[in-house]
Amino acid sequence: MLGHYDPYLVALSVVVASFGGYVALDLASHAREAGRGRNGWLGAAALALGAGIWSMHFIGMMAMRMPVPVSYDILLTALSFFLAVGVSGTGLFAVAHGGGGRTTLGAAGLLTGFGIVAMHYVGMAGMRLPVPLVYDTPLVAASVVIAVAASTAALWLAFRAASPLQRLSGALVLGAAVVSMHYVGMAAASADATAIGHAAHADAAPATDDLGFVLSTPSLAVGTGVGTLLILSLGLLSVLIDRRRSAEHAAGQEARYRAVVDTAVDPIVVIDETGIIQSFNRAAETTFGYAAAEAIGANVRILMAEPHHSAHDGYMAHFRETGERRIIGIGREVEGRRKDGSLFPLELSVAEWHDGRQRLFTGIMRDITARKAAEDALHRAKAEAERAREEALAARDNAERADMAKTKFLAAASHDLRQPVQSLFFFAHALSDRLDGHPASPLLASMSESLNGLRTLLDSLLDVSRLDAGVVTPAVTEFALGPLLQRLADEYRGRAAEAGIALRLVHTEGWTRSDPALVERILRNLVENAIRYTESGRILIGCRRTGKGLRVEVLDTGIGIPENKRDEVFVEFTQLANPERDRRKGLGLGLAIVRRLAGLLGHEVTLRSRPGRGSAFGLTVPSVAPRQVMKTCRPAAQSAVQPPANSGKGLVVVVEDDAIILLSMRTMLEEWGYEVVAAVSADEAVGTLTSLGQRPDMIVADYRLREGRTGLQAIRDIYGVCGVRVPALVLTGDTDPARIAEVQQSGHRLLHKPVAPEVLRNALTSAA
């Protein structure tokens, strides 16, 4: 193109292009660092780059001094500006959001280069000249290549320039490239010299239309350049202000982070990708013994024990190459090494993060020496506890075996001890009837009293042993308390009267759920104690409601019990009013048995007493609804049936393998007026009954018989001969719960040896 360039305006275009490139690179770099408003800063970078390129292009065109007047089309000039900004923004956003890969960068550079070329030639088309322009094809192609290369370089630099020096170097390269592209493009345009000469000598002013204007002075070019520089300076200033604000914010964040890290009780260490320590808090100084100045800059291996010490660098290299995580995000226990070389257990967790420039790792550690010691102590305690448990189980097994042996001993001892005592009872009772009025009667009475004491002693000792051995199993049922209390009152009223004591019963309609035999044993002990320790006055037996239960009470006007002795009276062999150990006053086992039986049944025993005024023992039992009891009627005897001439109260079959007991029992029963068939076995009893041709009125059989047979089998054999079921009693000295349960299930009444004669007589009378 004919004409010449204004060197000052050319220089201004270079400055504008370079400064625009610098501001654009700076804004793009800030966009990359900014967490918030990234797209806004990218838009500002696009505007700076586009404005710099367009302003340089416009100033460059006005720098050309031509011999003819030049005007510009407003719309095409504006379009060229928007093209410059648009293609710059498209390229920057594409690279920013596309990851910056080679493919993305190449495509974005190509698009931006063609956009800049379009901007340039649209701007050239906006020139209004009196002569037409002709473009040189090789120079146009060169301008396109320069534009694409400059655009690609600009986009690459936008996301690689980190320091101000790098940005300045990139800006100079970018400015030079854009200026080169522009002036190559300008050189590609030419016009006919003759036509230009005629136009230059024309007198008329350059024509303009409504959409054109004449720009013939350099002042507008300077104004455009200065304006662009001011706008770019404002953009740069905004970046600087935002950077300062971000730096202040980061400093505050850093201060807070440092405060948190330095006051943390656990060691916190930050390392980079090569394992170099970047941060070392106070807890880490205390734990590892290194000062922060010693640790920062050193490899983190100084804090590690083998094998981690030797393997750490290899692990970091493996992580950088493959991205495989072996520790990151996973807590684990490792060994740490202090400055003095000592090792200790610690718990380590590692987190990965980026600061925008590099990848860092934060390790949070905890010294678990105390916890490990506690765990070791716990393991030792568990081991000791397990040994203690095994010893306890062994002791329990031994105790259970001892209890089983004790139970067997009690069963055998009970049977063997009760047998001779039983025979003494029966012989003494038979003698008492025959020696009535004889001078030896007092001696016999003393012997009977001694036998009663021996029976009481034997019963009490064996009962306590059975309760301690746990062989007593309650047979719980619902029953009325009235008949039980009435029976006790009737039984003990005579003994109380002999001692000068009035025994009174308050009738009750209450029902309870318990074991009637064990409840009777408890109340019997309480009544016997009341008679034993009451010298005069009265004894009252009654029942009252209390809450949801019933309390059966035995009240007396006896000697009473001091408050500080009320717990002692329930201890074995404790007798407060029997210092001389008079056996007639018992052994001191009655209340001990009462407490054991009550505990077995789950009932509460209470005691109220005032010394010299009497005592009130209570047994609290559950209350249940009364039931309707069907009364049985016994048919009247037929007058036509006459008893045998040789019978008194009836025929009793006694089956007992102990000859002495058999003789004593036969003697006693005959004294009572019974006809007796005495046999040592079931076969003998069956043979005698068969020869007599009589059916017995009662069967009394010992449980243990010869040849391993039992009294229950003997009773069944006799039933087979008689053809009917007759009342039967089973006597036993065996305390084995299985034997007792077997007899109870048979439906026969069970009496424990030694049996008092009056108890046997009452049993025979009630069963007849």
What does the alpha-carbon distance between residue 570 and residue 591 come to, in Å, rounded to a whole number?
A: 5
pLDDT band at 328 (very low <50, low <70, confident <90, very high): low
Is 480 in contact with 626 (CB distance < 8 Å)?
A: yes
Share of the chain above pLDDT 90, in %: 6
CA 386-388-393 angle, to 5 degrees, is 95
Average pLDDT estimate for 322-334: 65
pLDDT on residue 221: 63
Least confident among 54-63, 84-93, 615-624: 84-93
Share of the chain above pLDDT 70, in %: 69
- As given in the structure block, the two tokens for residue 356 are 């925008």
- Give the pairing of strands 343-354 and 332-337: antiparallel
CA 192-198-199 angle, to 5 degrees, is 85
What does the alpha-carbon distance between residue 91 and residue 155 come to, in Å, rounded to a whole number?
A: 7
pLDDT on residue 180: 75
pLDDT on residue 539: 92
| pLDDT at residue 27 is higher than 90 | no
Average pLDDT estimate for 310-337: 65
Identity of the residue numbered 270: V
What does the alpha-carbon distance between residue 462 and residue 760 come to, in Å, rounded to a whole number?
A: 20
Give the containing element (helix H, strand E) for 177: helix 164-187
Q: How many CB atoms lie within 10 A of CB 609?
A: 20
Closest of 551, 484, 561, 571 to residue 530, by C-alpha: 561
What does the alpha-carbon distance between residue 278 and residue 270 come to, in Å, rounded to a whole number?
A: 5
pLDDT on residue 13: 76
pLDDT on residue 636: 33
Pick 768 or 585 by higher pLDDT: 768
The average confidence (pLDDT) of the chain is: 75
pLDDT digits (tens, 9 = 90+) for 137-177: 788 788 788 877 877 776 676 566 666 776 677 667 666 76
What does the alpha-carbon distance between residue 657 and residue 757 come to, in Å, rounded to a whole number?
A: 19
pLDDT on residue 124: 76
What does the alpha-carbon distance between residue 241 and residue 583 come to, in Å, rounded to a whole number?
A: 113
Closest of 173, 150, 152, 19 to residue 95, by C-alpha: 152
pLDDT on residue 555: 92
φ, ψ for residue 477, nearest 5 deg = -155, 170
Is 283 in contact with 321 (CB distance < 8 Å)?
A: no
| pLDDT at residue 178 is higher than 50 | yes
Average pLDDT estimate for 250-261: 74
What does the alpha-carbon distance between residue 230 and residue 233 come to, in Å, rounded to a whole number?
A: 5
| pLDDT at residue 469 is higher than 70 | no
pLDDT on residue 541: 93
CA 46-51-55 angle, to 5 degrees, is 155
pLDDT on residue 677: 92
Average pLDDT estimate for 42-52: 75
What does the alpha-carbon distance between residue 542 and residue 560 come to, in Å, rounded to a whole number?
A: 19
Give the N- to C-terminal CA distance of the chain in Å, as an integer.
155
Least confident among 264-273, 415-424, 453-462, 644-653: 453-462
What does the alpha-carbon distance between residue 367 and residue 81 come to, in Å, rounded to a whole number?
A: 65
Three-class secondary structure assignment of 479-530: EEHHHHHHHHHHHHHHHHHHCCEEEEECCCCCEEEECHHHHHHHHHHHHHHH
pLDDT on residue 619: 92
pLDDT digits (tens, 9 = 90+) for 259-278: 777 778 888 889 888 888 98
- As given in the structure block, the two tokens for residue 531 are 């008679």
Region for residue 650 given its phi and psi (left: phi exceeds 0; alpha: psi -120 to 50; beta: otherwise): left
Is 352 in contact with 363 (CB distance < 8 Å)?
A: no
DSSP string, 718-764: HHHHHSS---EEEEE----HHHHHHHHHHT-EEEESSPPHHHHHHHH
How far is CA 727 from each of CA 57, 263, 700, rounded to the nearest angstrom? 137, 94, 9
Closest of 577, 556, 554 to residue 565, by C-alpha: 577
pLDDT band at 655 (very low <50, low <70, confident <90, very high): very high
pLDDT on residue 80: 75
| pLDDT at residue 83 is higher than 70 | yes
Residues written for the chain: 768
Average pLDDT estimate for 182-196: 66
Least confident among 91-105, 519-533, 580-594, 659-673: 580-594
pLDDT digits (tens, 9 = 90+) for 387-423: 888 888 888 888 777 766 765 665 566 556 666 776 6
Average pLDDT estimate for 29-46: 70
Average pLDDT estimate for 313-320: 61
Pick 483 or 331 by higher pLDDT: 483
pLDDT on residue 98: 60
Average pLDDT estimate for 49-64: 75
What does the alpha-carbon distance between residue 143 and residue 188 come to, in Å, rounded to a whole number?
A: 9
What does the alpha-carbon distance between residue 310 and residue 705 come to, in Å, rounded to a whole number?
A: 89
pLDDT on residue 68: 63
Angle between helices 441-469 and 369-434 (to 10 degrees): 160
| pLDDT at residue 615 is higher than 60 | yes
pLDDT band at 212 (very low <50, low <70, confident <90, very high): very low
- As given in the structure block, the two tokens for residue 118 are 């379009």
pLDDT on residue 643: 37
Identity of the residue numbered 398: N
| pLDDT at residue 460 is higher than 70 | no
Contacts of 310 (CB under 8 A, 6+ apart): none
pLDDT digits (tens, 9 = 90+) for 596-614: 888 888 899 888 888 888 8
Q: Counting beta carbons within 10 angstroms of the beta carbon of residue 44, is it exposed (0 to 12), middle (13 to 18) or buried (19 or more)? A: buried
Q: How many CB atoms lie within 10 A of CB 576?
A: 15
Identity of the residue numbered 221: A
Q: Which residues pair with 677 in a beta bridge?
A: 653
pLDDT on residue 601: 86
Buried b or exposed e, range 622-645, using 16+ CB within 10 angstroms: ebeeeeeeeeeeeeeeeeeeeeee
